[in-house]
Amino acid sequence: MAGQENAETGLNRPPADASGLAAALEAIRAGAYAVDVQGRIVAVNSHAERLLERPAGDLVGQDAHDLLHRGPQGQSLPVTQCGMRPAFHAGLPAHGRGDHFARSDGSLLPVAWSLTPYALSGRETGALVVFHTEHATDPQAHPGQAAEPLGELQRLALLAETTTRLTSTLDVDEALRRLVALVLPRLADWAVIDLITERDEVWRTAVVQADHDRLVHHEDLQGPMPPVPEKSPMPLSRALRGVASTLAGPETYQRAPDSGIAVEQRRLFDATGIHSAAIAPIRSTREVLGALTLGRARQPGNFTTADLTLLEDIARRTGLALDNARLYQRQRKVAETMQNHLLPQMPHVPGLTMTVRYLPAPDASQVGGDWYDAFTLFDGATALVIGDVVGHDLEAAAGMAQLRNMLRAYAWGHHEPPSQIIGRLDEAIMPITDVTMATLIFARIARTDAGHWQLTWTNAGHPPPLLVTRDGLAHYLTDGHGLLLGTGVSTSRRDATVVLPPGCTLLLYTDGLIEAPGRTLDDGLRQLRQHAAALAHRPLPSYTDQLLHRVRPPGHDDVALLALQTPMEPGL
């Protein structure tokens, strides 16, 4: 169940998972720190702590420029003289040397640095700074520390960017897109990714060319590949077995092919014009996931064995990111299957049209505490339920299942109005279930002697039902409202009753349809009522789909929706 969020949600909020970012920075073999869009340090690695002689606690949260950047004599450096500032504000990569950072004791650390932008939440961009010591022009400033070449610093910056960008997504396809964008055209003008599926089949997932400022996908060269030969000495076969990274060229595959993979590799070299390639296994901690091939066709120069170290580091980081993404997607699939079994099929009620929708939050685990239910009661009436258990995970889904089953049992076994049924359920939540808090609406709908449909309900802290007439008049049913479940407060609950007009639409929904950061609850309710009224003439399936498309906030929360329409003529 989504709670209200402060409208000023952008203030004092860390831009990323700081602990995860700090862990990612540890893979960089140089000093590294990340700053948010305002230039405040959000994460550092242990190399930076040692070089700056400052613990992470003295760095994180501070303005990096004010704290660290100094002139050659130790004076504070105006922002107009800072080499990093223009690139930082423009969101562009940059490099520099001959600059100075301040240590905790006021001494100066001569540094060469590399700045790389990285994406935060929304459209904001932070920066990753990688730095190392270099010879100072002042002979008394830390003599004997050898400077690494700038090329090495750029390699470290690329690895740092690879780590931060690939570990910040749990979508396999997005991770591969980011990988390709990182290596092309910086290292090569062709990138080829072969992945091993969970059924041990090889799939050429990406063949991408850097054509000037465009990345061109060659789908005609992608697709299923022959099986990996067990003993082939050819470079791609060895990489797919996790044996080693290797250099290759067109001449490598001119000999008689020893496998179907060798045939496909010859076709790749012929079609792309690659004159030099470097191939590395993509490994996770548990298995080989595939292979990454970088190729140069238009770019001059051949890959060397020195390039393999960088490629292996990139492939290793890719493997960890892909493994995490695959595990996450596997969890999503299991959760989705569980959710589909938990959410019931709607009963057929003569004279009523009913439809339901459940949309999980795109960034959640594909399962949560939102649910709907409808079932026949002992006297022939139909029970309608919409509910929301606190949480967006498997624990919330399990609590939802407990609550739903108890509610069904109470509703069937006790011939009481909805308010008393929910009173019983509330009393049982704390001692019997794992649910902390929940909201729900429990209603019964039945035909009157005159042939109309009558709705009786009670509301336990849930957003009110919305009633829309055929003529487009819409209003919320705010009666029958009481406390949410699980508070431990003993309270009397009320029932409310309304006779539904012919041809009307009744909407029961969860708060994910009306709540979003930066938008008030009143705004969400107003928007829902406006669009629900405008769609009044639509058939129910089209009505619900269009309503969700127009109203649902993107990527925020789960949404469960139960909608029903009464017939145009009473008694039908």
* Last-in-domain residue among 153, 184, 211: 153
Co-location of 263 and 354 in the same domain: no
Q: What is the CATH number of the domain that holds 521?
A: 3.60.40.10
- The mean per-residue pLDDT over the stretch 352-360 comes to 89
The Cα–Cα gap between 25 and 34 comes to 9
pLDDT at 191: 97
> Is 291:234 a contact under the CB 8 Å cutoff?
no
Co-location of 105 and 181 in the same domain: no
The Cα–Cα gap between 408 and 397 comes to 16
Backbone phi and psi for residue 58, each to the nearest 5 degrees, phi listed first:
-85, -10
Q: Give domain status of residue 10, yes or no.
A: no
pLDDT at 156: 76
Co-location of 427 and 558 in the same domain: yes
Q: Give domain status of residue 211, yes or no.
A: yes
End-to-end CA distance of the chain: 38
pLDDT band of residue 234 (cuts 50, 70, 90) is very high
pLDDT, tens only, 360-408: 766 544 556 788 999 999 999 999 999 998 765 667 777 788 888 999 9
Co-location of 188 and 242 in the same domain: yes
Q: Give domain status of residue 129, yes or no.
A: yes
Look at phi and psi of residue 518 and say left if phi exceeds 0, alpha if psi is from -120 to 50, else beta. Answer: left
11: its two tokens: 């203030």
The pLDDT of residue 467 is above 90? yes
- For residue 485, list its beta bridge partners: 438
Q: What is the CATH number of the domain that holds 83?
A: 3.30.450.20
pLDDT at 14: 36
Question: Can you give the residue range of the structural domain that contains 311?
Answer: 172-333
pLDDT at 440: 95
Co-location of 505 and 394 in the same domain: yes
Q: List the beta strands (DSSP E) in 5-105.
A: 31-35, 41-44, 69-70, 94-102
In sequence order, which ranges of 3-63 are alpha helices (DSSP H)? 18-25, 46-52, 56-59
> Is 188:294 a contact under the CB 8 Å cutoff?
yes
pLDDT band of residue 179 (cuts 50, 70, 90) is very high
The pLDDT of residue 558 is above 60? yes
* Last-in-domain residue among 94, 123, 153: 153
Co-location of 442 and 483 in the same domain: yes
Q: What is the CATH number of the domain that holds 328?
A: 3.30.450.40
Share the mean pLDDT of the chain: 85
The Cα–Cα gap between 89 and 65 comes to 13
Long-range Cβ contact pairs of 549-556 (< 8 A, separation 24 or more): 551/513, 551/514, 551/527, 552/359, 552/512, 552/513, 553/512, 553/515, 553/516, 553/519, 553/524, 554/362, 555/361, 555/362, 555/363, 556/2, 556/361, 556/512, 556/515, 556/516, 556/517
Co-location of 179 and 291 in the same domain: yes
Q: Give domain status of residue 95, yes or no.
A: yes
The pLDDT of residue 32 is above 80? yes
| Residue entry with tokens 């996770």 | 284
Co-location of 29 and 72 in the same domain: yes
CA nearest to 245, candidates 164, 322, 304, 162: 304
Q: What percent of the chain has pLDDT over 90?
A: 51
The Cα–Cα gap between 176 and 154 comes to 22
pLDDT band of residue 268 (cuts 50, 70, 90) is very high
> Is 450:570 a contact under the CB 8 Å cutoff?
yes
pLDDT, tens only, 206-232: 999 999 889 999 999 999 999 999 889
Return the DSSP state at 532: H
* CA dihedral sign of residues 520, 522, 523, 527: positive
pLDDT, tens only, 145-178: 333 333 566 777 788 788 878 887 888 899 999 9
* Contacts with 328 (C-beta within 8 Å, 6 or more apart), sequence order: 170
Co-location of 254 and 286 in the same domain: yes
C-alpha angle 76-81-82 in degrees, rounded to nearest 5: 80
pLDDT, tens only, 496-555: 999 999 999 999 999 989 988 778 899 999 999 999 999 998 999 999 999 999 998 765
pLDDT at 340: 60
| Residue entry with tokens 């209003």 | 475
- The mean per-residue pLDDT over the stretch 315-339 comes to 78
pLDDT band of residue 141 (cuts 50, 70, 90) is very low
Q: Give domain status of residue 163, yes or no.
A: no
* Contacts with 201 (C-beta within 8 Å, 6 or more apart), sequence order: 224, 225, 227
CA nearest to 422, candidates 350, 483, 477, 367: 483
pTM over 0.75: no
Q: Give domain status of residue 136, yes or no.
A: yes
pLDDT at 270: 95
> Is 270:257 a contact under the CB 8 Å cutoff?
no
* Contacts with 211 (C-beta within 8 Å, 6 or more apart), sequence order: 189
* Last-in-domain residue among 333, 363, 394: 333
| Residue entry with tokens 């590949």 | 225
**How far is C-alpha 189 from the chain's CA centre?**
30
3-state secondary structure 98-119: EEEEECCCCCEEEEEEEEEEEE
The pLDDT of residue 182 is above 60? yes
> Is 399:428 a contact under the CB 8 Å cutoff?
no
3-state secondary structure 196-255: ECCCCCEEEEEEEEEECCEEEECHHHCEECCCCCCCCCCHHHHHHCCCCCEEECHHHHCC
**How far is C-alpha 48 from the chain's CA centre?**
29
pLDDT, tens only, 202-213: 999 999 999 988
Q: How many domains does the chain have?
A: 3
pLDDT, tens only, 275-325: 999 999 999 888 999 999 999 999 988 999 888 989 999 999 999 889 888
The Cα–Cα gap between 88 and 544 comes to 45
Co-location of 329 and 409 in the same domain: no
pLDDT at 5: 35
The pLDDT of residue 4 is above 60? no
Co-location of 177 and 136 in the same domain: no
The pLDDT of residue 22 is above 60? yes
Q: Give domain status of residue 164, yes or no.
A: no
The Cα–Cα gap between 563 and 544 comes to 7
* Contacts with 438 (C-beta within 8 Å, 6 or more apart), sequence order: 1, 369, 387, 388, 389, 390, 399, 400, 403, 429, 460, 484, 485, 486
Q: What is the CA radius of gyration of the chain?
A: 31
pLDDT band of residue 248 (cuts 50, 70, 90) is very high
Q: Give domain status of residue 167, yes or no.
A: no
User: For the residues of 450-484, what is the DSSP string, one character each?
Assistant: TS-EEEEEEEESPPPPEEE-TTS-EEE--TTEEPP
Q: What percent of the chain has pLDDT over 70?
A: 86
3-state secondary structure of 428: helix
Co-location of 543 and 427 in the same domain: yes
